[in-house]
């Protein structure tokens, strides 16, 4: 529901995983296969010779430094900028306002209800339930409209359809209080806390 670029994240994680796998396989081969180690030594020596000659040919006139270092620094800054932009894209889409309407009454104005009102109300209604191990409520923008995302973790053995119906009832009561229907995503999750939670289980 939020603006996190999940497809791009999966592609980047896949590329990083393949690179780490290739490095691991290469290190194992270097440590166990003498022919690979000999090939690596010859290849690395040739590459180092090419780079050394390149740096020697690109020195500043009258100086020992190469201008390639400046190019490398600029490329590194571009990579850092791209990484910062990528991190900034994670988790975007949160909304601070749940309801905003014009009031054309005797004193015209704008009525706004913050997202925290609905989030705190739903969290409070679900807080002390013995059949839940965790509850998270957040507001996101979905197609230009604010929408609630209710994520609940039931204990082992709790019927998901019953939980969904009860949460839907709470949301409908909230809609009546606000006077407007709200988009809602109910996410019923499972995890270690659900499987190994203590005592009060609903079977």
pLDDT class of 197 with cuts at 50, 70, 90: very low
pLDDT recorded at residue 198: 44
- Higher-pLDDT residue of 78, 103: 78
Whether the pLDDT of residue 17 is over 90: the answer is yes
SS3 label, residue 5: coil
The mean pLDDT value for 72-80 works out to 94
Domain segments of the chain as ranges: 6-88, 97-196
- Residue 102 half-sphere exposure toward CB, CA atoms < 13 A: 2
pTM: 0.49
- φ, ψ for residue 191 (rounded to 5)? -170, -170
Closest to 115 in 3D by CA, of 153, 82, 146, 84: 146
Looking only at the bridges linking them, the beta strands covering 145-154 and 132-142 are: antiparallel
d(CA 151, CA 135): 6
- Higher-pLDDT residue of 84, 199: 84
Domain 97-196 adopts which CATH fold?
GMP Synthetase; Chain A, domain 3 (3.30.300)
Whether the pLDDT of residue 106 is over 50: the answer is yes
- Higher-pLDDT residue of 166, 2: 166
Whether the pLDDT of residue 161 is over 50: the answer is yes
- φ, ψ for residue 9 (rounded to 5)? -60, -45
Please state which of the ranges 75-79, 128-132, 199-203 shows the lowest mean pLDDT. 199-203
The mean pLDDT value for 22-42 works out to 91
SS3 label, residue 101: strand
pLDDT recorded at residue 202: 33
User: 197 is written with which tokens?
Assistant: 């939670």
Please state which of the ranges 24-33, 156-165, 173-182, 185-194 shows the lowest mean pLDDT. 185-194
pLDDT class of 127 with cuts at 50, 70, 90: confident
pLDDT recorded at residue 152: 84
Tell me if 76 sits within 8 A of 157, measured CB to CB.
no
pLDDT recorded at residue 63: 79
pLDDT recorded at residue 80: 94
The mean pLDDT value for 53-73 works out to 86
């Amino acid at each position: 529901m939020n603006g996190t670029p999940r497809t791009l994240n999966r592609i980047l994680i896949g590329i990083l995983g393949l690179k780490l796998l290739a490095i691991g396989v290469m290190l194992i081969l270097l440590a166990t296969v003498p022919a690979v180690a000999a090939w690596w030594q010859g290849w690395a020596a040739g590459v180092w010779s090419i780079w050394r000659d390149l740096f020697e040919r690109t020195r500043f006139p009258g100086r020992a430094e190469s201008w390639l270092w400046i190019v490398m620094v600029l490329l590194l800054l571009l990579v850092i900028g791209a990484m910062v932009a990528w991190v900034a894209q994670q988790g975007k889409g949160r909304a601070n306002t749940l309801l905003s309407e014009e009031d054309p009454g005797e004193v015209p104005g704008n009525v706004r209800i913050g997202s925290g009102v609905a989030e705190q109300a739903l969290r409070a209604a679900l807080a002390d339930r013995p059949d839940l191990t965790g509850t998270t409520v957040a507001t996101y923008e979905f197609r230009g409209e604010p929408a609630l995302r209710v994520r609940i973790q039931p204990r082992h053995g709790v019927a998901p359809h019953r939980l969904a119906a009860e949460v839907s009832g709470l949301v409908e009561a909230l809609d009546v209080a606000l006077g407007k229907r709200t988009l809602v995503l109910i996410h019923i999750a499972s995890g270690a806390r659900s499987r190994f939670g203590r005592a009060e289980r609903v079977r």
